[in-house]
Every structure is written in structure tokens, then in C-alpha cells.
Structure 1
């Protein structure tokens, strides 16, 4: 019996070796002619593009359909669609004039048919649609840009300024977004009149017209650090561990520590800070936890800021005034767990800015009340907090 098994095993090995030596089966015929052209082509215009539908030729050699088109002088794009579908999407056009598109049927041997010319007329591209709702105005320490992106297209908002008064506009900041609406602010500019320009750019380098204005950034001062933690009875100020105390939020080291409240705490929760002087607030900045955690977990998503000059010793809200309700903003608009480099730069590296509206009274004490975290849990984490205004 053992001898039979042994002989059978040898036979199988010999067969396997012979299979390995056989030439590879190749079903591509290099001499096959190019496939016939597609037919019955229809075009549906879209914002900055078009969707083509067509009838695929009955040819076993067909591999895919290719479109070649010029979106800008000398700039050509290609779109491809396999023989499994009869639809091809074209995109990247920057205006609404008529364009010529060449359609090719391409065989498995890469031989292409003669081109079939198709005319398309794109609808208004996203950068021009969004430009109608673009605005720029003076803000604290800089300017504020408001936009609406109804088509939720990926685009860059490019801000330029004449910062030295020589009439030359130079880029000072670029914001990236695909969210339907938002506000971006550029800071760090002196309170003197300057000429500003803002325009939109898409990923194919199509640009909107520039919106140009002369503006005077509003004066503000940064509130000096360090601050002091005020530990009132109803506050949640105990750190989850000793290396995450409240003082981490004003040590000036964004990437070297956080405040983290205890596990198992619930929302809403709040903590109190003594700024050491009275301030008429213009804005505040919050840095989220380091890049691996940005826009996730215990980072604060929604919160309120209260001001007082005489906090109640029992920790109640009796002597506090609501100064603003805020919600964190994610430039990419991606769902939880997905972030872009621009998200990390905005939420962690640069920090999110939150503006106070119509402030007239000065306050020394701040109460930060967290309403929601990105992960939905009760623990909160903050890397750094900063405040600006009139001291």
C-alpha cells in the first residue's frame, strides 16, 4: 500500500513540473484589428464636464473606450471606461464653451480605432458657481472669508495681499475644502489698510475671477500666558493621569502635551480658567490632540464659553454670562476616521479659531463647557487654548 502511494506521489510531482514548463496561455492576438467605433453617442452636460453614453461594438477584442480632450490650451486629459459599461465621465473643464472630444475603442492588444468626434458643452464649473457666494471682510488681526460650495467640490481658496504697500499682491494663505459652506480667517496682520484678493482654484487649475478689496484688519492683542486653573466644586478638572493636567492647555507647547479629563466622565462638563486680567474678547484658538487623533475620540466637537468677573464659589452658573456657542469645523468634510493633511493642519497645527460676536464687556474668568466630543464619549482632550481681544 505504501508503495502505491509513493508511486502516485511521484507521478503527481512529474505532472506539476511539466505544467510549470508549459508556455503561458496568452489570449491576446497581436494581429487582431482595432475594434469598431462606439455608436449612438449621447452627451449629458454636468458642472465642469459631461457624461457620455454610447453603444459598445460587438467585438471580442474590445478592452476599453477612451476619451481624449483638451481642458485648457495645451492641457489634455484622458478618460477610460471598460467594455463592461457604456458610460464615460468627463471632467476638468473651466468654462461653458463647446469642446471637442475624441472617442476611441481600444482592443486588448492596445490597437485603437479611428477617433469619433463628439461635441460637449459643460455647465458652469464649480469654481464659478461658488464664486457667486464668495466674500471677504475685515476680521480681528486679519480678514475673514465666507464661502458656499453648493456642489461640494474639492477646491482651494487662495488669499493674496499687498502686505508691504508696493502694489504687488502675493499669496499669504491657501485653504482647502469640499464642505458646502464655511468661514476661513487669516491672522497675524497689522491694523493698517491693505489690498486683499481672494479667488477659487480647482484640482485642474481652473480659477475663478479674483475678488479684490482694500480692508483694515481689526486691532487685537493676544492675552499673555500662563493662565491659572480655578477648581470649583462642579468643575471637571482632574486629569486622567498626572501628566495631563489643565496647565498643559496654556504652556505654549502644542505638540508636547494635552489636558485630558478622567475616563468615565459625562457630558456636559466644564472647567474654569483665570486669565489674570479683564479682556474684551475678539476670538479664541483651540488646538486638538496630536495628528493621529485629530477629529476623532475625545477632541471637543461642540462647546460653549462663559465669562464672569465674580464666579460663585459653589460652582453654579449664577454669575456667568454665555459669550458664545461654537462647533468644530473639519475642512475636508470627510466622515469620522478619515482626515486629510489639510484637516490636521487646520485642527491641530494651526488650531481652530472661534470668534466672539459683538463683545463690549470685559471678563477675567472663562468657563469652557463641552457639549459634544468627536467620539461621543465623556472624556475631553485639548492641546492648547489661546485668547485674543482688548486687554
Structure 2
């Protein structure tokens, strides 16, 4: 008998534990009618959408509120909000027209009330407002696109080109961004008159108008690295993290995973000097980051200056140097330190952070890279690779 009581007690304890872990199981009455409708709907238009607020019915069978609306002809979206909130957010509109939205009260048994119809006229969607700010101009090897995106909307900026000369435009580059502003270049094109175009697309496949221009890309080549070598001047940063992290790693190619890293004990600012072996008219350059530990974190280079000279001061001074520009490494997502997206990594590691000059620099043979700020280290600077474009003068 004691054994039976013991087993019974264990079963009761098991069922009590199971119930406490699973929580309360509500009985759903399939015979209950659909819940009452919501009321007092207010519409607050937003760019490409709207926020709806309303009064919930005092109906215990209510589970959630659902909105059904058409963002494009034949393309419908749904938005849902639980019984514990009185707000619905609608997104995905590509225009400012008035759209009819159906609002349903849905019961715990999934029965739906008759819809309430409300009209929504969104504010100008980002796909259109950003397009108004977008422009592109000829640059070395292609076209440079600029834009402003104050709402930080997720957008795709699509660049097209007439590749055959028969008027048919083909996509040649797509830049995905949620940054508040920026610019990027589509390159790799001959220096001859060509027709280019751009439009903007959002994640719901809404599209802007198309901007078309005839432009002539400026002539450029990737500057060969075979003649590059370090030039060590008295004030230069010479201490490195390890013998395997020397300056020539900056031009050993991405396939070679060795990188440049100054000493952990170094301080900022610091600079190194490169002899290109020939005089070069620079058009742009790229800096590549190390992916695992220094991509928008650690000793990854954030802010720096590039200087040029044809006769460097023997004492390591600056009197014979011309500042070519001050640069900040773009982070496409705009996320704070410690956060990054796949787009960020692809840009910094695979594509290379792209830098242009505000004014055309003079032809120079020697470059001085002056590091001002890293992402989170106190002094060490880590760079995977540098690549230059332009024209060889002599």
C-alpha cells in the first residue's frame, strides 16, 4: 500500500511540475461568435506607411486585430497587433495616394469580425524622397552616386548602363544601404561617352523614377604595386606587432592573409611612408580591413590623413608634404561600435572601403599615411591592404 501511495505522489508531483512549466491552457470555444469590432480609429501618416490607434472592444474572445491593405495592384500585406495593445503600424506603401485598409477583430477561435474600412494616405515614401536627393556624376573609371536618406530606410540604389549602345539599360551595380547619407561609385567602365541611369528600390519592390545621364568616365588604371617599397624616415612609426606584420604586407594582395600591424605599445597619431617608385596622379584608393578582430572594432583604422610628396624631408618633418585629404572609413549600416551587418563586413573586407579626393591631388611619388583614430584601440593600427587607382605620370 505504501508503494502505491508513493507512486501516486510522484505522479501528482509530475503533473504539478508539468503544468507549472507549460503555463495555463485556455479553453477555446469554437462556438463563440466573432469578437466585436474596434472603434475610434485614428490615422497618423508616416513616410510610406501609417500608425493606426484605436479603442479595443471589451470582448474576452478577442485575440488580436488584423489590418489587410494593398500596397501595389494585386499585392496585399497584413499587419497584426495583440489584444494587449491599441496600435498597428502599416508599412510598404510606395506612393502618397489614399489606400483603403480593412481592420478585423480576430477571436481566439480565429473567427473574424466584419471589417472596418479606413483611408490611409502615407507621407512621401523614402523610395521617392531619397530619389529626389540622389545624383550621379562622372568619376575615374565610372560614375559616383550621392544620396541623402534621413529616415535611414533600407533601400537599394540601382545603377544601370547602356552596355550595347542600343538604348537597353542593364544593371551594373546595386548598393544596399540604411545610412542617413552617403556616396558610392560604380566603376570598371571605359573612358568614352555612355548612357547611365539609376533608380531606387525598397524591400517591398516599390521603385522610384529613373534618372538618366550621358557621362564619360575619367580614365584610370589600378596602380601596379611591383615598385612599392617602405621609406623609413626619422619620425615614422617603425615598431610593429611582430616581424610578420611589416609594412610591405599592405601591398601583398588580398589572397595573402598577412597584414600590417603596428606595435600594441604604439600611440596615436602615427605615420608610415611608402615609396611608389614612380610619380602617380591618384584618382581614388581603397583600404581593406582584417575581418576577424579589426573590422569596425579594435585596431581597425577609422580616421586618417593621406599626404603626398616628391622630395620628403630627410629629418622626417612635414614641410615638403601636401595633405591630400582627411578620411573616415564608412560603415554602411551606421550602427554603433560593436554592431555590424553582413553589408558592413562585405564592404570593408571584400569590396574595400572606397575613398575619393575632394580636390584632384598633384602627382606624387611618396605617400605618408597618418593614422589619427582607430575603432577602439589606444594606439595599434591594423590594415589588411591598400590599393590605388589613377594615372602613372612618370
TM norm. shorter chain > 0.5: yes
Q: 2:120: which partner in 1?
A: 120
Give distance in 2, aligned partners of 1:18 and 1:140: 74
Give runs of aligned pairs for residues 1-391 of structure 1, distance below 5 A: 12-17=9-14, 25-226=25-226, 227-253=228-254, 256-290=257-291, 293-359=294-360, 361-391=362-392
Aligned-pair CA distance for 1:39: 0.6
Which moved further from structure 2: 85-94 or 244-253? Answer: 244-253
Q: CA deviation at 1:243?
A: 2.0
* Runs of at least 4 residues off by over 6 Å: 6-9, 20-24
Whole-angstrom CA distance in 2 between matches of 1:342 and 1:277: 35
Q: C-alpha deviations, 1:264-297, integer Å up to 9, x for none? A: 2111111110001011211111111125642221
CA distance in 2, matches of 1:203, 1:386: 33
Cα deviation per residue 1:29-72 (whole Å; 9 max; x = unaligned)?
22222110101111111111111111100011111111010101
Partner SS, residue 248 of structure 1: helix
CA contact (8 A) 2:324 2:361 kept: no
Kindly indicate whether the alpha-carbon contact (under 8 Å) linking 2:294 and 2:382 is maintained by their aligned counterparts in 1.
no
Following superposition, the deviation at residue 371 of structure 1 comes to: 0.8
Given that residues 176 and 332 in structure 1 are in contact (C-alpha distance below 8 angstroms), is that contact kept between their aligned partners in structure 2? Answer: no
Residue 132 of structure 1 aligns to a residue in which SS?
helix
Partners of 1:7 and 1:318 lie apart in 2 by 97
Q: Please say if residues 101 and 118 of structure 2, whose CA atoms lie closer than 8 Å, have aligned partners that are also in contact.
A: yes
Matches of 1:326 and 1:261, distance apart in 2: 20
Kindly state the Cα deviation for residue 259 of structure 1 after the two structures are TM-superposed: 0.7
Q: Is the 8 A contact 2:144 2:183 kept in 1?
A: yes
Rounded Cα–Cα distance in structure 2 between residues aligned with 1:92 and 1:11? 58
Q: Which stretch shifts more, 27-36 or 362-371?
A: 27-36
Q: Deviations over 1:66-97 (max 9, x none)?
A: 10101011111010111111111111001111
1:7 positional shift = 10
Q: Which runs of 5+ in 2 are unaligned?
A: none
Summarize deviations over 1:137-156 as a string: whole Å, max 9, x none.
Answer: 00011110011112221111
Q: Distance in 2 between matches of 1:373 and 1:385?
A: 16
Q: 1:255 to 1:375 in 2, by over 3 A?
A: farther
Structure 1 residues 292 and 200, CA, compared in 2 at 3 Å: closer, same or farther? Answer: farther
Q: Which moved more, 1:224-233 or 1:19-28?
A: 19-28
Unmatched tracts of structure 1, length 5 or more: none
Residue 108 of structure 1 and its aligned partner are, at CA, apart by: 1.6
Kindly state the Cα deviation for residue 385 of structure 1 after the two structures are TM-superposed.
0.4
Q: Contact 2:133 / 2:147 at 8 angstroms: preserved in 1?
A: yes
1:349-387 CA distance string (max 9 Å, x none): 011121224335311110000111112431111111011
Q: Tell me the SS of whatever aligns to 2:257.
A: coil
Q: Deviations over 1:165-219 (max 9, x none)?
A: 2321101110011112111111111101110011111111111101100100011
